[in-house]
Amino acid sequence: MKIISGSAHPDLAQSVADYLKVTPCDATVTAFPDGETFVKINENVRGSDVYIIQPTCPPTNSNLMELLITVDAAKRASAARITAVIPFFGYARQDRKDQPRVPITAKLVANLLAAAGVNRVLTMDLHAGQIQGFFDIPVDHLYAAPVLIGYLRSKDIKNLTVVSPDVGGLKMSDAYAKALDVPLAIVGKRRISATKVEALNVIGDVEGCDILLVDDMTETAGTLCAAAELLQERGAGKIYAGVSHGVLGEIGKKRLSDSAIEELITTDSTPMAKGPKVTTISIAGLMGEGISRIHNDESVTSLFDIG
Helix, strand, coil share of the chain (percent; to 5) = 35, 25, 40
Q: Are 142 and 148 spatial neighbours (Cβ–Cβ below 8 Å)?
A: no
Backbone angles phi, psi at 181, to 5 degrees: 55, 55
Grouping H, G, I as helix, E, B as strand and the rest as coil, residue 204 is: coil
Active-site annotation holder among 21, 189, 196, 254: 189
Backbone angles phi, psi at 213, to 5 degrees: -80, 130
Residue 7: exposure state from Cβ atoms within 10 A (0-12, 13-18, ≥19): middle
Q: Which residues contact 167 (CB under 8 A, 6 or more apart)?
A: 186, 188
Q: Report helix angle 145-153 to 284-295, nearest 10.
A: 140
Active site residue 189: yes
Q: Are 7 and 29 spatial neighbours (Cβ–Cβ below 8 Å)?
A: yes
Query: Which residues form the catalytic set?
Result: 189
